[in-house]
Amino acid sequence: MKKRSGRKGEAPPKKSVHKLVAYQIHEDDSAPICPARRERRWMDDAYRKFPYRCLPLVVANQYGWEILSTHHFRASWDGTSKPGGLYVENISGDGRLHCHSHFGEGVLTFQIPFLFKTPDGWNLMVRGPTNNPKDGIAALDGIIETDWTHSTFTMNWRFTRAGTVEFALGEPICLFFPIQRGVLERFRGELRTLESNREFEKKFREWSASRDRFLLELNKGKPETVAQGWQKDYMRTAKDKKPLAHPFVNEISGTELEATGGNDEDSANM
């Protein structure tokens, strides 16, 4: 006998949920955490906002959570290697300024005011906000084993040249998301000719021919093609514009917050 499928209208089974906890260390010192945002200034300013038509770009923008700057400040580097060659000036903002020069070599260090805890076997990928370049300074990436470590980490940016940069109040200074430890090591890369997979090759050739036709018609100004604008191949699986990451929940009040605070002290891992 065939097993009966789920009844019409029956709720699908719930997916398993992993907890990512941000422990607040100091009650009077916090920084906002929020799901990574879809929007980028340079994408907004582009002609007809064309970059938003690229779903892979938009999905990457929203992949994870951001920690926001609690101050508007200015950082200047004179190009020397000693920590004293980098100076931070607070322009506005309340409470403790979470950034300073610590390592030297033109590295701007942010104290992350949280102690994170992931499930066993899960690390935390820590980096700068995706697809959001900042002139004169670049974010450095790090992977933290947050399932066992009880020490904090820092977020670091390195100047690309001597000069001055500013971070605005509320500007993302850090992006993070969990990655499963050991997954990369289980993959084995192979090189093959496309002809070795006939079905895959057929689909690619069809798509490629369709793309060539579309671009030719677009260049010729064919009205229906111009009205279409772009083929939307990547857009067909986009359900909505909601962030991928859920807001952090305030354990004390039991509510979800768009931005919640927390704190941390020593910076041992980065």
Residue 51: what residue type? P
pLDDT at position 265, please?
36
Q: Assess contact for 201 and 194: CB atoms under 8 A.
A: yes
pLDDT at position 262, please?
37
Q: Which residues pair with 125 in a beta bridge?
A: 143, 177
pLDDT at position 2, please?
44
Q: Is 268 helix (H, G, I), strand (E, B) or coil?
A: coil
Q: What is the mean pLDDT of each run of 10 residues along the chain (270 residues)?
A: 49 78 87 95 94 90 96 98 97 91 97 95 98 97 96 96 98 97 95 96 92 80 70 58 79 53 38
Token digits of residue 65: 């959570």
Q: Assess contact for 237 and 55: CB atoms under 8 A.
A: yes
CA distance 230 to 244: 24
Q: Is 263 helix (H, G, I), strand (E, B) or coil?
A: coil
Burial readout 70-81 (b: 16 or more C-beta within 10 A, e: otherwise): bbebebebeeee
Whose CA is closest to 112, among 123, 93, 128?
128
Q: pTM here?
A: 0.82
CA distance 40 to 130: 10
pLDDT at position 28, please?
82
